[in-house]
Structure 1
Amino acid sequence: MATITRVEIKMIDLVPKITRTDAIQSFVSQETPIVIIHDSDGAVGTGYTYTIGTGGPAVVSLLERTLAPALIGKDPTRFEQLWRDLLFQTHATAVGAITSLALAAIDTALWDLNCRKNGLPLWKAAGGVRDKMRLYTTEGGWMYFTEDELVENALAAKEKGFKGSKIKIGSEYLVQDRRRLTKVREAVGDDYEIMVDANQNYDIAQAIRAARMLDELNIAWFEEPMPADDIAAHVELARRSHVPIAVGESMYSQSQFKDYMQLGAASIVQVDVARIGGITPWLKVAHTAECFNIAVCPHFLMELHLPLICAVPNAKWLEYIPQLDGVTKSQMQVVDGHGIPSREPGLGIDWDWDVISKLELVHHDVRKAA
């Protein structure tokens, strides 16, 4: 039986190529912890996680001091047991963002290691339902774009083959968002989807008003209308809205998703593999959503989510926001507005270690004591 002999922990900061601004924040930093797990057979698996803005060092500290040492000597093929053991080892800080993000780095590394040893790409190892997924882009819809720029960006995306665009909303006055969205709808026509994202900026009264306006413009979904911890408000909004309500990027446990689905508070779940704690819990949320006949359209991390949504039957869209282009040797393959998952064993991410070594902010090496 192979055992885990070494865990490397790195962190880099991926600076977005363009400014990313929504109704509540603007970020120019993306701290990205990376975990590399080695086993006694010589197999290696790489996983990662991220923060928008700050918080990366806290994730790295939890990995270095608590989680990585607990992996040494363990069987890497028992990733379900390892995930649960690590969760309970840190139960005093769970459910919470730091713990979930740290668990995700380890869990994705374990899946990568096992997929590589078994000679399977992740999308096949996790189910292999389809070999491509349609894309919508968020990069042309940030809050600071003018109305004319939003139109120009949406038309350019449509010309490239994208099937939809996401527009950020949450202006001071609802009429401002109406003007922005109306111009885009008139430009792209009815055969192109428009999604909107309020980034938790509304209260229930504002969200109800916004939902009526969005329905008039045939919007595909209304994302994160209110704070994610207010389930009752989302139940009320879902009851009143004809536009599907999408939630998930700010939720950190399977149980939170279960409550939303059971109460009818959302009809699209945007489970994020990093924020839920890894591939192991991500798949559980996706399959639970299938039982409720709810679509999965994950948040961010397109390079990692592509193989996952190709593995489950109820996935509908992949969000296009390039993240890893600068630190990988090959980019995600896009054909006619669809993402094509890698056929190579593992997660399908071809890391450029020379570039990563130059960007390293920290590097820890956890091994078995001599």
Structure 2
Amino acid sequence: MKITGLETFCLDYRMPYPLTYARGEYRSREAVLVKVHTDDPDIFGWGEAAMWGGPWATTATVLEKQIQPLIVGQDPRRLEYLWEKVYQETYYHGRKGILLSCLSGVDIALWDILGKIAGQPVWRLLGGFARPLRAYASSGYYRRGYSTNDLANDVAAARAAGYLGYKMKVGNIATAVHARVLDETPLRVSLGEDFARVRAAREALGGDLDLMCDATTSLDARTAMTYADEFERIGVRWFEEPTQPENIAGCADLARRTRVPIAGFETETSKFNFAALIDAGAIQMVQPDLIQVGGITEARKIAAYAQMRHLGFSSKNYSTAVSLAACLNLLYALPNGDYFECDMDPSPWREQILKAPLFDLDAGMAQPFDRPGLGLEIDEAVLATWRVTP
């Protein structure tokens, strides 16, 4: 079997309302899907490449002009070889950023192909630990006309829907590390106002479920410590991306001084950078983004290293059904897989583009499935509704 080419699907969806966090405000959701074809017309794979905020054209060009020539004619079952081939042949201007995000999309698609060839779900090929995953709702942005009571009501609704936890945004304060550059970010709050939001969410969720807080790499270590002190009193399950990932020493110092586990970093890439964070003691919940970190092939190595250090592993899941499926399959396979993120914000790409539901949620637990590959059945006619030309 040989790879014959790939397609890119650039998607755009304008949300009914803007979402604000410490790094800015966005009104649209964007994504780039990758479809890898083989010389068997019935065997193809879906992947997704992160392109957060960048133009579609740059991601599509890297995929079509740089990576595609490196993989066409190759056996799609040689996943480790193809990952290294692309990584090493683009080494001098790759290693991180857009190149690794694009490689993520291709890698995920190749795992989808391998599962279809084997007639097995990817999670089983990855080791098949097969434990149902705890699911938490993820939202809690800053919004215009959205009060603390509104946030509490949404948290209560997530509890009523059966989710076992809730994650919200924090850190949109005037002293955010990037505030002097991103000075037009709206809805800045004081520390006291931010803490009031977290306390309201904690009360609405109840003491028996988990509350997580995400600062999206927005704080210096000292300010993050102020947050962590309050989070200990409130009862927060983990503090996500409190600092920038480059600030390993600051994040490690924070982790040593708080009992709240530090989660991260979805904005970091490669096993080497995650090993540095883990070795420094900077993170206790290891949490990459599969469509940015290097795909399933790279993420499973990070997960294995996390297990060696007795750390939990989760994954960012905040895009389309393709990244959702990749996250599920990897987490199902892991003995240290912990929590599955369920994006609650407006998007048609979690369910509407699928011909059948991807997973069942039973008492807050996402149950493993037996469909081959990633388990996706994408309706391309429906997908075309949001497809744009880069």
TM bin, normalised by shorter chain, reads over 0.9
Question: Which residue number corresponds to residue 312 of structure 1?
Answer: 334
Decide whether aligned partners of structure 1 residues 254 and 213 sit closer, same or farther in structure 2, where only a CA change above 3 A counts.
same
Q: Which residue of 2 aligns with 1:11?
A: 10
Cα 1:352–1:18, aligned 2, differ >3 Å: closer, same or farther?
A: farther
Question: What SS is found at the alignment partner of 2:242?
Answer: coil
Q: What is the correspondence of 1:107-118 to structure 2 with a 5 Å cutoff? A: 107-118=107-118
Q: Quick one: which amino acid aligns to residue 327 of structure 1?
A: I
Judging changes above 3 Å, is the alpha-carbon distance between structure 1 residues 326 and 19 closer, same or farther for their aligned structure 2 residues?
farther
Change (3 A) 1:50 1:324: farther
* 2-structure distance, mates of 1:14, 1:289: 35
State the shift of 1:154 in Å: 1.1
CA shift, 1:184, in A, is 2.2
Conserved 8 A contact 1:34-1:46:
yes
What's the offset of the Cα at 1:18?
Answer: 5.5
Residue among 306, 309, 313 paired with 1:289: 306
The answer to whether the 8 A contact 1:16-1:28 is kept is yes
Mean Cα deviation higher: 280-289 or 178-187: 178-187
Q: What is the distance in 2 between the residues matched to 1:228 and 1:182?
A: 27
* Partner of residue 68, structure 2: 68
Q: Residues 14 and 346 (structure 1 numbering): CA distance in 2 closer, same or farther, change over 3 Å? A: farther
Q: Does 1:328 align with 2:329?
A: no
| Superposition deviation, residue 131 in structure 1 | 4.3
Q: CA deviation at 1:345?
A: 0.3
RMSD: 1.7
**Matched residue type, 1:330:** A
Deviates more, 1:130-139 or 1:318-327: 318-327
1:270 to 260, 273, 287: 287
- The structural deviation recorded for 1:16 is 4.6
What is the distance in 2 between the residues matched to 1:319 and 1:20? 18
Deviation at 1:270, TM superposition (A): 0.9
User: Once the two structures are aligned, what percentage of the paired residues are identical?
Assistant: 30
1:185–1:179 distance in 2 versus 1, CA, 3 Å: same
Higher alpha-carbon deviation: 82-91 or 322-331? 322-331
| Equivalent in 249, 255, 274 of residue 266 of structure 2 | 249
Q: Which residue of 1 aligns with 2:187?
A: none
1:48 shift after superposition: 1.7
Unaligned runs of 5+ in 1: 364-370
How far apart, CA to CA, are the structure 1 residues paired with 2:303 and 2:115? 20
Normalised TM-score (structure 1) = 0.93
| 8 Å CA contact retained: 1:164, 1:193 | yes
Cα distance in 1 for residues equivalent to 2:71 and 2:3: 6
Residue 249 to residue 206, structure 1, CA distance change in 2 (3 Å): same
- State how far apart, in whole Å, the 2-side matches of 1:225 and 1:185 are: 19
Q: 2:169 matched to which residue of 1? A: 168
One-letter amino acid matched to 2:90: T
- Residue 49 of structure 1 aligns with an amino acid whose one-letter code is A
Residue-by-residue CA offset, 1:294-322 (whole Å, 9 max, x unaligned) = 11121124332112101101111011016
Partner of residue 20, structure 2: 21
Q: Over residues 65-92 of structure 1, what are the superposed CA-to-partner deviations in whole Å (9 max), with x where a residue is unaligned?
A: 1111121111111110001000111112
Q: Are 2:385 and 1:350 aligned?
A: no
Give the AA of the match of 2:384: S
- Give the match's secondary structure for 1:32: strand
Q: Does 1:147 align with 2:148?
A: yes
Question: Distance between the aligned counterparts of 1:343 and 1:16, measured in 2?
Answer: 33
Match of 1:361 in 2: 388
SS of 1:110 mapped into structure 2: helix
Question: Which residue number corresponds to residue 367 of structure 1?
Answer: none
Q: Is the 8 A contact 1:302 1:318 kept in 2?
A: no
Counterpart Cα distance in 1 of 2:17 and 2:350: 14
Contact preservation (8 Å) 1:4, 1:73? yes
Any idea what the Cα deviations from partners look like across 1:210-256, whole Å, max 9, x if unmatched?
11000001100011111111101111111111111111211011111
Aligned partner of 1:44: which letter?
Answer: F
1:128 lines up with 2:150 in the alignment: no
**Aligned length, in residue pairs:** 361
SS of the aligned residue for 1:135 comes to strand
Partner of 2:291, secondary structure, is: coil
Q: 1:232 to 1:169 in 2, by over 3 A?
A: same
Bigger mean CA offset, 280-289 vs 9-18:
9-18
Tell me if 1:210 matches 2:227. Answer: yes
| 2:50–2:101 Cα contact (<8 Å) kept | yes
**Within 2, Cα distance between the matches of 1:187 and 1:94?**
45
For residue 237 of structure 2, give the secondary structure of its aligned residue in structure 1.
coil
Residue 184 in structure 1 maps to residue 204 in structure 2: no
The one-letter amino acid of 2:39's match is S
Q: Give the 3 Å change call, closer, same or farther, for CA 30–69 of structure 1 in structure 2.
A: farther
